[in-house]
A and B are shown apart, each in its own frame.
Chain A
Amino acid sequence: MRRANPITRGVLFLMGNERRQRITIPVFAILLSLIASSIVLLILGKNPIEAFISLLRGSGILPKEAYAAKKSMLTDFLSLLNAWTPMLFASLSVAVAMRAGLFNIGVSGQMLCAGFIATITVGYTETLPAVVAKPLVVLIGLVSGAVVAAVIGFLKQRWNINEVVSAIMLNYIIRYIVSFFVKATINNPSTRQSWPVSATARLSLMDTELGGLKMDIPLGIILAAVAVVVVHFLFTKMKLGFELRAIGGNPVAAKYAGINVGRNTILVMAISGALAGLAGVTYYLGYFGSIQPDVLISTGFDAIAVCILGNSNPIGIVFSSLLISVIDKGSTYLQSSIGVRQEIGALITGLILLFSACGAYIAYLVNRGRQREEDAKKLSAGTDGKEAQA
């Protein structure tokens, strides 16, 4: 058997063993998509390096050449955090379900439901002090998201209805019902959205003057950081986390081991839904500030792919969701600085997600290559030995 050429061998060496592949394969997928987007940018006659730098500048990671009054790199970075918060929650939500072998494709619907209920109950309050209103918004979001998702879990446990199907149905039921109520009750006719929520209930402090700068301070990011730690703790240290992973690995074996699969299915969906609800309130009562009727935002669907890119691991998701938020946030500056349409941001995201979906296949190719390499080494070592004997 011949050994592979040096380039293939180099790639195989860089990808490393299965443990290292958990990091190298997503990085490889991102590299592939950056190459693909560079080709698109070159076709448009733009410099890809310049484009990627302006993505980073637009999202406050690198300094811009000039800033408007009361704006700086810090304000840009804070608004990145503001946009990142819901995406981080949504991806965590998908990850919790994914570890237990369930797909929560209903994150967008759960977000909308939580955001809507929090908006109509607390969102327009003027009397409640902020220290009461804001925790109340968080609590309502958490509970309403959990209830919607628990219904999905219950339908699966009781009647064996595929969670993907019921989640899609619930997504659209929620979308139309919320649209109806928004249009009928809290519609602002001039913007065709709901009235913006009051400052006391809003989870992001918008346009706060601090040190001569006007900044949006997202309070939800602190909560999101806590959630990352909690989810990580759940999976690595808690009995429940172990049971969930066992179910995700093999539900039949988990059942034989005495794990209550049905109860855990509902529980995991409720946890996932609670995180989706937090994503909803940090989006609709934080980053965005109002509800647009007739729209199911793409965050919940993007989150599935972001979760795959981050290996369904809370720490991995921190990085993958940040990357997607940087591209999303930076694309506006991309348009104004080098004149590429900001839709390219969504396109780059789409390409990253596409290549990350191929991750399992890349891993398969790499491991097969490594195996062949080892076999070839053994074989050549064997023949060398025989020759020496002869």
Chain B
Amino acid sequence: MTYLNTIIIDGLSFALPLFIMAIGGIYCERSGVTNLAIEGLQGMGAFVGALAATLVSGMFAADSQAPMFIAMIFSFLGGGLYAVLHAVLCVKFKANQVISGVVINILATALTTFLTSEISTALFGAASNRFRLTTSVRMTVPGLSEIPVLGAVFTNIYPFELVIILVALVAWYVLYKTPFGMHLRACGDNPHAVDAAGVEVSRVRFIAVMISGALSGLGGICFAYSISVQFSSAIYMGYGYLAIAGLIFGNWQIMPTLAACLIFGFARSGGFALTQVMELPSAFTDVFMTLPYIVTLFLLIFFSKSNRAPRALGEIYDKGKR
């Protein structure tokens, strides 16, 4: 029973940041821009957020939660601003989008590692390769958490999980129910039609890439709070690539992607729990960690007909082309 609770609690706290990063990826890819940069975007977002939290932490009481929310706002902005680089390269400079994504990741790792040690030396006088964060509170909903099994969903929730659900709802509404969302989705399938309708394709794509960066940044800082309670280069664990697997699994749609991220999250926490129950060496968690990738690969094989990427994905928009 306790194991089941742990699986649900840890699974959710892993799946939701992954989900918000995947939504960012969906925004970017549905607009027709390949996004391999999620890894770098989330790292840069987390860096900016953690830096903001470190700078303001002196103004608040030691157990105050305010720095965390400030960090989330700043990681949102930081990720969005860093994504401008990807947008400029892909949309304005018409660079190859896969290469741009790879370069954005390499640069993010180098830049954040360098800046973290430089800034921590300047701030604290001692070189350190990490920013320490405050421990996040965990909330339990009284009453609802008493329900058997499902109660775990309402137990030990990180505040960021609620923020993510809120942001995800807004993102879902914007993508599927607003004119902007329709233009964005059309840009990924038939950019010429969007252009003919009088909407500027490059502008829509630029905004989509920035939204993608902002959401990835938010996901990054949540991982920094939930997994390690610090920012260091360990943030580049490959969760950005897992988010890409999630959105492909989810067929570039938000609700199926949520399901994919939940499966990934529960597979991970389930794997950890299983190694504990069966008293296996901790190395076995590595074996369970391969599951999301293997499942995605097989899904691509079996559903290669119905799993469909946006039609204009990765293509540089050229007005003159027919």
Complex CA–CA separation, A357 to B103 (angstroms): 8
Residues of B within 8 A of A (CB): 34, 36, 85, 89, 92-96, 98-100, 102-103, 105-107, 109-111, 113-114, 117-118, 127, 238, 241-242, 244-245, 248, 281, 283-284, 286-287, 289-290, 293-294, 296-297, 300-301, 304, 309
Interface size on A, residues (CB 8 A): 48
Question: Is A354 part of the contact surface with B, judged by Cβ < 8 Å?
Answer: yes
With A172-B290, A360-B94, A361-B93 as given contacts, are A155 and B110 in contact (CB-CB < 8 Å)?
A: no
Kindly list chain A residues whose C-beta atoms are within 8 Å of the C-beta of B113.
343, 346
Q: A184-B283, A341-B118 given. 13 additional CB < 8 A pairs? A: A161-B300, A166-B297, A166-B300, A168-B36, A168-B241, A169-B297, A177-B286, A294-B286, A346-B110, A346-B114, A349-B106, A350-B103, A350-B106
Question: Is A12 part of the contact surface with B, judged by Cβ < 8 Å?
Answer: no
Complex CA–CA separation, A344 to B115 (angstroms): 9
Let me know if B109 and A298 touch, CB within 8 A.
yes
Question: Is A159 part of the contact surface with B, judged by Cβ < 8 Å?
Answer: yes
Let me know if B98 and A105 touch, CB within 8 A.
yes
CB contact between B238 and one of A172, A183, A305 (< 8 Å): that residue: A172
Question: Is A95 part of the contact surface with B, judged by Cβ < 8 Å?
Answer: no
Complex CA–CA separation, A364 to B106 (angstroms): 25
Let me know if A184 and B301 touch, CB within 8 A.
no
Kindly list chain A residues whose C-beta atoms are within 8 Å of the C-beta of B297.
155, 166, 169-170, 173
Q: Which residue of B lies closest to A162 (CB)?
A: B309
Give the one of A44, A170, A350 with max B CB within 10 A: A350
Complex CA–CA separation, A8 to B10 (angstroms): 59
Kindly list chain A residues whose C-beta atoms are within 8 Å of the C-beta of B238.
172, 175, 296
Let me know if B95 and A159 touch, CB within 8 A.
no
Kindly list chain A residues whose C-beta atoms are within 8 Å of the C-beta of B300.
155, 159, 161, 165-166
Contact with B along A151-178 (1 / 0, CB 8 A): 0000100011110111011111101110
Let me know if A173 and B294 touch, CB within 8 A.
yes
Kindly list chain A residues whose C-beta atoms are within 8 Å of the C-beta of B95.
357-358, 360-361
CB contact between A358 and one of B93, B106, B293 (< 8 Å): that residue: B93
Kindly list chain B residues whose C-beta atoms are within 8 Å of the C-beta of A169.
245, 293-294, 296-297
Let me know if B100 and A357 touch, CB within 8 A.
yes
Kindly list chain B residues whose C-beta atoms are within 8 Å of the C-beta of A343.
110, 113-114, 117
Complex CA–CA separation, A173 to B287 (angstroms): 9
Q: Enumerate A181-200 residues with CB–CB distance to B below 8 Å.
A: 183-184
Kindly list chain A residues whose C-beta atoms are within 8 Å of the C-beta of B106.
298, 301-302, 305, 349-350, 353
Let me know if A358 and B89 touch, CB within 8 A.
yes
Q: How far is the CB of A257 from chain B (nearest CB, A)?
A: 23
Let me know if B301 and A161 touch, CB within 8 A.
yes
Kindly list chain A residues whose C-beta atoms are within 8 Å of the C-beta of B109.
298, 346, 350
Let me know if B117 and A341 touch, CB within 8 A.
yes
Contact with B along A284-307 (1 / 0, CB 8 A): 000000000110101001101100
With A162-B309, A180-B283 as given contacts, are A347 and B110 in contact (CB-CB < 8 Å)?
A: yes
With A173-B290, A176-B286, A354-B107 as given contacts, are A159 and B98 in contact (CB-CB < 8 Å)?
A: no
Q: How far is the CB of A103 from chain B (nearest CB, A)?
A: 5
Contact with B along A346-381 (1 / 0, CB 8 A): 110111011001101100100000000000000000
Let me know if B110 and A305 touch, CB within 8 A.
no
Q: Which residue of B lies closest to A165 (CB)?
A: B248
Let me know if A357 and B99 touch, CB within 8 A.
yes
Q: Which residue of B lies closest to A166 (CB)?
A: B297
Let me know if B284 and A180 touch, CB within 8 A.
yes
CB contact between B287 and one of A172, A177, A341 (< 8 Å): that residue: A177
Kindly list chain B residues whose C-beta atoms are within 8 Å of the C-beta of A184.
281, 283
Let me know if A164 and B98 touch, CB within 8 A.
yes
